[in-house]
Amino acid sequence: MPTTPRRASYHHGDLKATLLREAIDVARTEGPHAVTLRDITRRAGVSVNAAYRHFADRHALMITVAGHGQGQSARAMERRITALHEPTGWDLLRAVGLGYIDFARAEPGLFQAAYLEPVDLARTEDPDASGEGGRTPYQLLSDALDRMVADGTLPPERRPHAEVPAWSAVHGFAMLVVQGPLRELPPEAVDALSHRVVEAIIVGIRQV
């Protein structure tokens, strides 16, 4: 059923924020592929041309949506980290991995927008993609790996680019849960598998 056009409530000068809010809402409820400038402007009650004053094209809009999603992902990681007492590098890496999965499960549409829309690593250190602590998800992952080296639990020669295999493994699992054959599993089963996957990542990156 087509979305009923509606005029969003915004004040003069707030159209950019309104368009972004509408795009985030569509990404969250329908997935990132459902976001189009035509639909977003219709929902906001303005012309497509009005959107071009704030976003050059859909890609520009979705990169901003992705930054918002990554910021929410970082917050999920931070919640796990904050619950720790005197964490080791292992603890931090575990919290980062489980927080990543937490966000994917809670916000599958926004999760996909956050991590499937960007086409390179340029956003991994963008302040707009940060959590409350000012660190992006990628930076929180890097911090955990650096702490493992400092703890002596990750050999220094294994540290370069260790973010990539760790991120790849946890992302693959998250996608199986939100969009693949694991999405029908009961929550308690996903909880158990999440811990098993993250523990396997920790063991794997330490192997010389």
Rounded distance between C-alpha atoms, residue 46 and residue 6, angstroms: 10
Q: State which amino acid sits at residue 201.
A: I
Rounded distance between C-alpha atoms, residue 57 and residue 77, angstroms: 31
Rounded distance between C-alpha atoms, residue 35 and residue 183, angstroms: 23
Position 121 scores a pLDDT of 85
Rounded distance between C-alpha atoms, residue 106 and residue 94, angstroms: 18
What share of the chain has pLDDT > 70, as a percent? 93
The token pair that represents 178 in the structure block: 């939100």
Of 3-7, 40-44, 106-110, 118-122, the least confident: 3-7
> Could you report the per-residue pLDDT of 120-134, keeping only the tens digit for each?
888 888 999 999 999
Largest CA distance in the chain: 59
- Domains in the chain with CATH codes: 15-51 (1.10.10), 66-206 (1.10.357.10)
What share of the chain has pLDDT > 90, as a percent? 82
Position 123 scores a pLDDT of 81
User: Which spans in the chain are helix H?
Assistant: 15-30, 37-44, 48-51, 58-82, 89-106, 108-116, 137-151, 163-178, 187-206
Mean pLDDT of 16-25: 95
Position 122 scores a pLDDT of 81
Give the pLDDT band (50/70/90) at residue 13: low
Give the pLDDT band (50/70/90) at residue 67: very high
Output 111 or 207, whichever has higher pLDDT.
111
> Could you report the per-residue pLDDT of 135-170, keeping only the tens digit for each?
999 999 999 999 999 999 999 999 999 999 999 999
Give the pLDDT band (50/70/90) at residue 208: low
Neighbouring C-beta atoms of residue 20, cutoff 10 Å: 18
Position 2 scores a pLDDT of 44
Position 5 scores a pLDDT of 45
> Could you report the per-residue pLDDT of 22-33, keeping only the tens digit for each?
999 999 999 999
Position 207 scores a pLDDT of 77
Per the prediction, the chain carries an average pLDDT of 91
